[in-house]
Chain A
Amino acid sequence: MTSRSLFQRSCVLLGFIALSIYLFYIGKGHSLLIDTNAVTIDGKELRSPETIEVSIDGKPAESMGRAERILVLVGGPKHSITIEVISGDDRKVEKQFTIPTFMDSAIVSVPAILGDAPSESWITTFTAPPVEEAPAEQMQHEQDTPEATAPVSPDATGGQPKP
């Protein structure tokens, strides 16, 4: 192998690694919780308007009332949010925001955005409260439902997994 081709092959390999990292970065999925609960920032309480319509990345808008949360799944770090206030002062706000790569679930606070709060406060990490596992439901996933009448084979028969 010539040094030239060694170099080029290393470049290809590095390129693949770099591409992987880039893909990881731009493809990382996040669960966004669009939140209209009131927030207090710098001692100021910000409240959401009565009715708004929210849309992320230009997807079909959803209307929200006060103190609601809706879940939106997105991929990648950079997103835009469009908030249209239906009640009260009729206005439309469009903002860009960035989600940290390793933040799996994020709360996006509508009042903070509408209230012109500093952009760091728009997004906060969401930690799910511990949920009791539902073992019954899980069991169903674990086994292919056997046929009602089929006895559990002592496996002397089927040497191979069934197709």
Chain B
Amino acid sequence: MDSAEPILSLKGIGKSFYGNRVLADVSFDVGAGEIIGLVGENGAGKSTLMKILFGMPVISETGGFEGSIFFNGKEARFKTPFDALDAGIGMVHQEFSLIPGFTTTENILLNRESLNSSVLVDIFGPRISTLDRATMESRAKSAIDKLGVTLDPNMLIKEMPVGHKQFTEIARELCRENVKLIVLDEPTAVLTESEAEVLLSTLRLLASEGIAIIFISHRLREVVELCDRVVVLRDGHKIEDFPAKGSSTKQIASLMVGRSMEAQAKIDAASAARSTQSESDARETILSIENLWVDMPGETVRNVNLSVKKGEIFGIGGLAGQGKLGIPNGIMGLSPAGGSVILNGTPVPLNAPRAALERNMAFVSEDRRGVGLLLDEGIDWNIAFTAMQVQNKFLKPILGGLFLWRSDAAMSNLAEEYIKLLEIKCTGPGQRAGNLSGGNQQKVCLAKAFALRPDVLFVSEPTRGIDIGAKHLVLDTLKKYNSEYGTTIVMVSSELEELRSVCDRIAIVYEGRIEGILPHTAPIEDFGILMAGADRDEAPVALVGGN
């Protein structure tokens, strides 16, 4: 669909947060009536790009961005999202931004209601006018009609099926006057397959009316099916921009996860060096997981079957929201879970964090500040607490063992030890964890797990949000710990590169299930295919390992 003048044109967009580059020189155009699929791994820069487009305050607060945006032929620099909305850009978020107790109409016209004029307006301002319900309903209806679906304008949102909520959101964007571009962020993530079908045809209908659409999705099949062109972002760069017709999910997936040749070579060399030590011995299974389901918001696990060998580093990868994070959280009892987890031949009770810890498993959570740390307490507390509570370490019995007295000195010693070992930069064992930098906080979390001397260690997103130097140190520490103590490590990460450089085998999670398990030496395209949900029509990928 060629149009002479693009509606939106991004030129050389770049952005860094605190010296951390997240976007570099991204340029592409969106024409009227064109559907652009914007794909990329987590952290590839999609959401930052959209924040820039919408003028989110966080961008200007962190020093603005490079490059320029042309919307509708004019250079646009939106100061707030409202400017962007006024200019004619609509956004449909991943999470529903709807008021549950309001009707469809009220939500579609939220803060844009039709008003009856009133004499009181001059005195009390326009908000004193009453709502003109009849006009509102007809406006809502016309927006719904544009979608080509049927929605009851008077139904409450909380009584609606999920799909209708999504349509309501889109209708809300359509209902603005002069809307020219709609950005949809993962609109189908919460929909059933048939609902998603309807949504896609609705989007096609809108495009045919001349509205440009940016469609952000991890469901690559939908992208191929729906979009005119696909823009792939990776590590903040635009990698490719090509017509969707004729492309395949496999192709897109490998573009998304592919690395530059040098990086690839380095990883290959690194993994080749390790391959000899791990693959040769057929070790016994330490942990086997059967039919595991985990109810973790946003990371639901439906049916996972896995087995992990003693002493290996096992990687779990996959795109965001597919459920990889749910696996360790479920096993460690932090999220409601079911199924069976067998450690060393005996089942581990689920939904009981203590039982999991007592079976000598430990977990470094991806939510460092929320789950991993006592921000208000010192490093010594943070490191020693779990071991103290679960294994009665750092405690002195007093009165003949009637009471267990906390030994601050022992905790302090332990903290000193780990501060030295992990090079934690701090003023001393008593420093509050909340005052540490992200990397050092992560080291404290690792130290906490190490202090338990676990048989199986789950590490979730160990390098998220920390700087390069700390990343290496964390990964090296994990490897060292694995080889020195023979600890089995299960590492969950969205960074495939990282998994491949550390792990022996890597499982890829897709839609709450294990899509496949590959050795770290497997070509990167194979991982890409698994991550995008191996297209069932295409030849199945040869799976290694499994149960």
- Name A's B-contacting residues (CB within 8 A): 2, 4-5, 8-9, 12
Contact = CB atoms under 8 A, between A and B. Distances in A.
B123 interface: yes
Interface string B112-127: 0000000001110100
Contacts of B125: 5
Contacts of A12: 123
Nearest to A9: B123
Interface string B313-346: 0000000000000000000000000000000000
A5 B125 CA distance: 8
B137 to A, nearest CB: 30
Interface residues of B, number: 4
Q: Which of A4, A8, A12 has the most CB of B within 10 A?
A: A8
Interface in B461-512: none
B316 to A, nearest CB: 56
Q: Which 7 A-B pairs have the closest CB atoms?
A: A5-B122, A8-B122, A8-B123, A9-B123, A12-B123, A4-B122, A5-B123
Contacts of A9: 122-123
B27 to A, nearest CB: 44
Contacts, number: 11
Contacts of B123: 5, 8-9, 12
A136 B121 CA distance: 58
A39 B237 CA distance: 107
11 contacts: A2-B122, A4-B122, A5-B121, A5-B122, A5-B123, A5-B125, A8-B122, A8-B123, A9-B122, A9-B123, A12-B123
A138 B125 CA distance: 51
A9 B125 CA distance: 10
Interface in B89-145: 121-123, 125
A5 B123 CA distance: 6
Contacts of B122: 2, 4-5, 8-9
B4 to A, nearest CB: 42
A8 B123 CA distance: 6
B489 to A, nearest CB: 56
Interface in B335-368: none
Contacts of A5: 121-123, 125
Contacts of A8: 122-123
Given A2-B122, A5-B125, A8-B123, 8 more contacts: A4-B122, A5-B121, A5-B122, A5-B123, A8-B122, A9-B122, A9-B123, A12-B123
A29 B547 CA distance: 96
Nearest to A8: B122
A1 B259 CA distance: 57
Nearest to B119: A8
Nearest to B125: A5
Contacts of A4: 122
A82 B122 CA distance: 50
A28 B91 CA distance: 63
Nearest to A7: B122
Q: Which of B121, B122, B123, B125 has the most CB of A within 10 A?
A: B122
A50 B172 CA distance: 88
A118 B123 CA distance: 50
Nearest to B120: A8
A19 to B, nearest CB: 15
